[in-house]
Amino acid sequence: MTLGSAIASARKRAGMSLDDLAERTSIRASLLREFENDSFEKCGGETYARGHVRNVAVALNSDPAEFLELFDAEQSIASRSMYDLLVENNVTNPKNEKNRISIKTLAIISASALVLVGGGQLVISNMNTSTTVKKAPSAPTAPAKSTATPSPQQSALVTGANAVTVQLSATHGSTWILVSDSAGTILYSGRMAQGENKTFSANEKINVRFGNAGAVDVLVNGKPEARLGGIGEVVDRTFEANSSN
């Protein structure tokens, strides 16, 4: 069942028309009709869409967490960068697309590369067959002792005075999360199933958007954080190296 069909079924069970639901949620009936057709593009961004979905669930006496989980599964942004999210929410302007290389140009480049590779192989083959002088064997020498220098082990966690480590545990239910560092680099974007744990580490600070804040327990540098919000509530939090309760 899609989110749109779930909303339509819940509305019919509640004996409401689209106009009734619009009056209860202050959402236009035309927009609610698009929701039931699984279209959420006109909400003004994902944050607003999630808020509308939660309000609809409350108005229909349905579980907001179930509706939001369907929304995350169908409208997932795991493959989108922080730049794409900023563009969607009108925080920045989209960049102009670069001119695409035509198929004809790609074909010419590919043909030229094949000619160069084939010519290079022919030259190397001729050089190998023309070199027939045998070298006199040299006297064996004792192998030189060498001291191997072990390569440094890469640590999964960032360490230092300005480092912050955040441990997330989906103890009370499943949730969607978006995790980024102080530079805006996305460390993770996706769903956490109930019982799943994830650990993130970065310099200075870590930003987290929780799609179901009430489902998650948080440790910052080993110290527990207070409950972030309720079930189905969308919460944005920033955790820094000196964060404390």
> In angstroms, rounded to a whole number, what is the distance separating the alpha carbons of residues 158 and 165?
8
Count other C-beta atoms under 10 Å from residue 178's C-beta: 21
Q: Residue 91 has what pLDDT?
A: 56
Q: Residue 93 has what pLDDT?
A: 63
Structure tokens, 66: 């179930």
Of 25, 43, 150, 39, the closest CA to residue 88 belongs to: 43
Q: Residue 110 has what pLDDT?
A: 76
Of 171, 178, 190, the closest CA to residue 72 belongs to: 190
Residues 210 and 216 sit within 8 Å (Cβ to Cβ): yes
Q: Residue 88 has what pLDDT?
A: 56
- Between 29-36 and 46-59, two packed helices, what is the crossing angle to 10 degrees? 90
CATH number of this structure's domain 3-75, picked from the four choices 1.10.260.40, 3.30.200.20, 3.40.50.300, 1.10.1740.10: 1.10.260.40
- Between 64-74 and 3-13, two packed helices, what is the crossing angle to 10 degrees? 150
Q: Residue 133 has what pLDDT?
A: 43
Q: Residue 75 has what pLDDT?
A: 79
- DSSP secondary structure code for residue 242 in this structure: T
Q: Residue 136 has what pLDDT?
A: 46
Q: Residue 77 has what pLDDT?
A: 52
Residues 240 and 204 sit within 8 Å (Cβ to Cβ): yes
Q: Residue 29 has what pLDDT?
A: 92
Structure tokens, 155: 């640590």
Locate tokens 């808020």: which residue? Answer: 51
Phi-psi region of 195 (alpha: psi -120 to 50; beta: other; left: phi over 0): left
Structure tokens, 185: 């680099």
Q: Where along the chain do its domains lie?
A: 3-75, 163-240
Q: Alpha helices, DSSP H only, in the chain?
A: 3-13, 18-25, 29-36, 46-59, 64-74, 82-88, 103-130
Q: Residue 155 has what pLDDT?
A: 35
Q: Residue 145 has what pLDDT?
A: 44
Q: Which fold has domain 163-240?
A: Immunoglobulin-like (2.60.40)
> In angstroms, rounded to a whole number, what is the distance separating the alpha carbons of residues 84 and 214?
27
pLDDT by 10s per residue, the chain, length 245: 799 999 999 999 999 999 999 999 999 999 999 999 999 988 888 899 999 999 999 999 999 999 999 998 887 654 455 555 555 556 556 655 444 556 767 778 877 777 777 777 765 666 665 554 444 455 455 544 433 333 333 335 677 778 899 999 999 999 989 999 988 899 999 999 999 999 999 988 999 999 888 999 999 988 999 988 889 889 999 998 776 54
Q: Residue 127 has what pLDDT?
A: 67
